[in-house]
Structure 1
């Protein structure tokens, strides 16, 4: 069998589709695992930390870190208490949207991994459409690549 340009394109489509499929399935597995075995907790939404040049002297923050005045500077932080009474603070895994803003000072329901409490998902903000989209696009590209490999001269 002679390998031509169509075979190379077909192989690249199959390989790219496989990468996209694995990325989508990994994201879905992460959400399913935390939904099924994660611990529910209420998290306080705190302002994002902006990193910039040297901090002003005496402002009470570490060098280069200052609370953001608005959410435009980055993702907000989530602070919650685990079952064993540890206080954990993580960067929010999803950005705020116009339909679902993350208002500073409010509480959101999260699920965290008891083995690694820094791994969290926010209830009803899991971004499943993105993960299903990656998986679906991967299957479509793999199918297209296989068609090119089978029917191309």
Structure 2
């Protein structure tokens, strides 16, 4: 369960990585694990600690799809958007999911129940189209399995 933003807690996370080569990504991962996202006040704090610009830190956060600037929903559904999944009707299934939950890519339902994210290759090409629901792989998705998945998470 993510905790509320706490500058001293963020300082502790940064300190844990002192002296480490290439500490930015591990710090960002730990900050997100603690707070559920990379809160805006963390960016200048990390930049100062690592002698980087805020733009450099923000650039890394915005480049990597796994970093969030706002907390995710209670459930996270990552739909594969790579070629193998697209060739197996993944695009139509993705459209179905987005319509069903009423969100756009990267969006969270208004009640905070579900975040739907795009990901590019889960390594489940033989089971295309595929997804991860809360880190659990789901393969050979169909219209029926999407409906079952929605029911499973209570939507």
Structure having the larger proportion of residues in helix: 2
Q: TM-score, normalised by structure 1?
A: 0.22
Structure number with greater Rg is 1
TM value normalised by structure 2: 0.22
Which has the larger share of strand? 1
